[in-house]
Amino acid sequence: MFKAKILLVGPCQAGKSVLANFLGDQTDILKSKYRPTVGVRILEFETSTGNGSDVEIELWDCSGSENYETCWPAMAYQADGVIIVYDPSNKNPTPSVEAFYNYFVASKGLKDTQCMIFTNCKGQDMDKITSPIPSVTAVTTDLEKDHGSITDDFKDFLKKVLTKMSAVQEREELDIIN
Ligand SMILES: Nc1nc2c(ncn2[C@@H]2O[C@H](COP(=O)(O)OP(=O)(O)OP(=O)(O)O)[C@@H](O)[C@H]2O)c(=O)[nH]1
Ligand SMILES: [Mg+2]
Give the closest residue (by CA) to ligand 1 atom 8.
15
Report how far ligand 2's centroid is from the alpha carbon of 146 (Å).
Answer: 21
Q: Is the CB of 118 under 6 A from ligand 1?
A: no
Select from 33, 34, 100 the residue to mutate for testing ligand 1; criterion: most ligand atoms less than 8 Å from CB: 34
| Structural domain count, the chain | 1
Protein residues placing their CB within 5 Å of the ion ligand 2 = 16-17, 37
Report how far ligand 2's centroid is from the alpha carbon of 40 (Å).
Answer: 8
Instruction: From first to last of the 178 residues of the chain, give the pLDDT tens digit.
Output: 889 999 999 999 999 999 999 998 866 667 778 999 999 999 999 998 877 778 999 999 999 999 999 999 999 999 999 999 999 999 999 999 999 999 999 999 999 999 999 999 887 877 777 889 999 999 988 787 766 788 899 999 999 999 999 888 888 888 898 7
Q: pTM score, two decimals?
A: 0.94
Assign residue 55 the CATH number of its domain. 3.40.50.300
Task: Give me the domain span that covers residue 155.
Answer: 2-177
* Three-class DSSP category at 62: strand
Q: Is the CB of 17 under 6 A from ligand 1?
A: yes
In Å, how far are 76, 80, 100, 167 from 159, measured between CA atoms?
20, 12, 22, 12
Give the closest residue (by CA) to ligand 1 atom 14.
15
